Amino acid sequence: MLEALALVILANIVLASRSLLFVLGSRNEIDTREAKSDLPFLSIIVPARNEARQIEGCIRTLLAQRYPTFEVIVVDDESTDETHAILEGIAAQDARLRVLRGAPLPAGWVGKPWALVQGERAARGEWFLCTDADTIHHPLAASSAVQAALERGVDALSLLTTQEMKSFVERALMPGILWTIVLATGPLSSVSDPRKRAAIFNGQYLLLSRALYEATDGHAYVANEIAEDLEFARRLKRDGRFPIALMGANNLVSTRMYRSFNEIWGGFVKNFALGMRDRTVEAVSGIFGLLLISPITPLGILALMAFRQWTLAAVLFGAFAVALIASEAGMRRARFPAGSAAWLPAGFVVLLAICATSVARLAGSTGVDWRGRRYSRVLRRS
């Protein structure tokens, strides 16, 4: 029993250590900067498929950017709701907004890369900002991000946005799922370091230079990838020609990803198996570690108390508490809501179920459904 207890304690110590490592290695946030008059022309590209619930708020904050010269291109990816009508209404008021009707999805493509490619091909800017329809932007977000990219000399800059979690289910489940992704990647500085393997973008906010676009054809580089932001970062890191960076958004960009259990489940089931691809050892060890932390740690504490093993229960509880406190520090650095670490046990349990479902669907014949489309298991690295 002591050997098993030691393993569970070790898992909690690893969680605490990786959380503190993130805190120490993730101090790089963009500064809030007023725009200079000579900043390059910026094309802001938004893929939109059935986004009537949130598209207007996003587009109006983009049009309110304090940036010298820019355009906003929204690619309506065959929406069946009021998305297009809302966009046309805004475009009639502001000529900087162009609304493109997306062409039918070609065979072998995934919807988001296809929509982004159409926007990129129509863009006139020296830099492209690819951002999601569920984001909200501070007026100085674009000027701050572009200046950060220019000063760091990178061709791709992605920002870690502030996560809005308002409903009970969001607060209970999203922290554990998102924090696992963060820890699997490592500190933000690792993504910028060409010597390290760590590579991930946040597809909610990705700034690309035209030079990178012309060399890679932009999101056509990841045409058949469901987790296009993750794979784009990995391919650019392996390519080595274009410096990349992941930085904190300094509260200049926020997003509310999902609002219900079904949205959370569907959104992450489509990605997790692909995120673990080519990383079998890390994936298996990570899943085993999550299992030890939750549900085994809380159940272990209760079992030890039931058998009056008070000292052992106290030691395990202490390790668990340290892991949660360290996670809270890291999550606050990543702009999660205060108190998010308290929900990690619930989030980890749901995440384990998501991982199992994602692997089963991508490995089997069912594939995954997203935005009214089904993507089968044939979607593999090209």
Q: Are residues 95 and 233 in the same domain?
A: yes
Q: Residue 308 — left, alpha, or beta (φ > 0 → left; ψ -120 to 50 → alpha)?
A: left
Reported as a pLDDT band with limits 50, 70 and 90, residue 376 is low
Q: pTM (2 decimals)?
A: 0.91
Asked if residue 212 belongs to a domain, the reply is: yes
Quote the pLDDT of residue 141. 98
Asked whether the predicted pLDDT for residue 149 surpasses 60, the reply is: yes
Asked whether the predicted pLDDT for residue 373 surpasses 80, the reply is: no
Reported as a pLDDT band with limits 50, 70 and 90, residue 335 is confident
Asked if residue 117 belongs to a domain, the reply is: yes
| Domains contained in the chain, number | 2
Reported as a pLDDT band with limits 50, 70 and 90, residue 364 is low
- Taking residues 219-244, what's their average pLDDT? 93
Quote the pLDDT of residue 274. 65
Output the average pLDDT for the chain.
Answer: 92
Q: Are residues 74 and 204 in the same domain?
A: yes
Q: Are residues 208 and 305 in the same domain?
A: no
Reported as a pLDDT band with limits 50, 70 and 90, residue 338 is very high
Q: Are residues 232 and 292 in the same domain?
A: no
Quote the pLDDT of residue 187. 92
- Taking residues 328-335, what's their average pLDDT? 92
Quote the pLDDT of residue 219. 96
Q: What digits encode the pLDDT tens for the residues 9-53?
A: 999 999 999 999 999 999 899 999 999 999 999 999 999 999 999
Q: What digits encode the pLDDT tens for the residues 206-218?
A: 999 999 999 999 9
Q: Are residues 144 and 215 in the same domain?
A: yes
Q: Are residues 91 and 154 in the same domain?
A: yes
Read off the amino acid at residue 230. Answer: L
Q: Are residues 20 and 48 in the same domain?
A: no
Hunting for tokens 């020296």 — which residue is that?
126
Quote the pLDDT of residue 190. 93
DSSP string computed for 338-357: TTGGGGHHHHHHHHHHHHHH
Reported as a pLDDT band with limits 50, 70 and 90, residue 226 is confident
Quote the pLDDT of residue 382. 40
> Per the structure block, which two tokens stand in for 237?
């890191």
Q: Are 244 and 191 in contact (CB under 8 A)?
A: yes
Measured between its terminal Cα atoms, the distance across the chain in Å is 47
Cα 261 to Cα 33, 142, 172, 255, 266: the distances in Å are 37, 32, 10, 17, 9
Q: Are residues 159 and 70 in the same domain?
A: yes
- Taking residues 142-162, what's their average pLDDT? 97
Quote the pLDDT of residue 350. 96
- Taking residues 67-95, what's their average pLDDT? 97
Q: Are 114 and 76 in contact (CB under 8 A)?
A: no
- Taking residues 370-378, what's their average pLDDT? 66
Q: 320 lies in which domain range?
A: 2-24+271-375
The residue among 258, 291, 310 that closes a domain is 258
- Taking residues 192-219, what's their average pLDDT? 94
- From the list 26, 24, 29, the residue with the least C-alpha distance to 250 is 29
> Per the structure block, which two tokens stand in for 54?
């949130």
Q: Are residues 104 and 226 in the same domain?
A: yes
Q: What digits encode the pLDDT tens for the residues 268-281?
A: 987 776 666 666 67
Asked whether the predicted pLDDT for residue 152 surpasses 60, the reply is: yes
What percentage of the chain has pLDDT greater than the value 70? 94
Asked whether the predicted pLDDT for residue 381 surpasses 60, the reply is: no
Distance CA 151, CA 149 (A): 6
Q: Are residues 114 and 247 in the same domain?
A: yes
Q: Are residues 112 and 19 in the same domain?
A: no
CATH of the domain at 93: 3.90.550.10
Q: Are 183 and 289 in contact (CB under 8 A)?
A: no
Q: Are residues 94 and 65 in the same domain?
A: yes
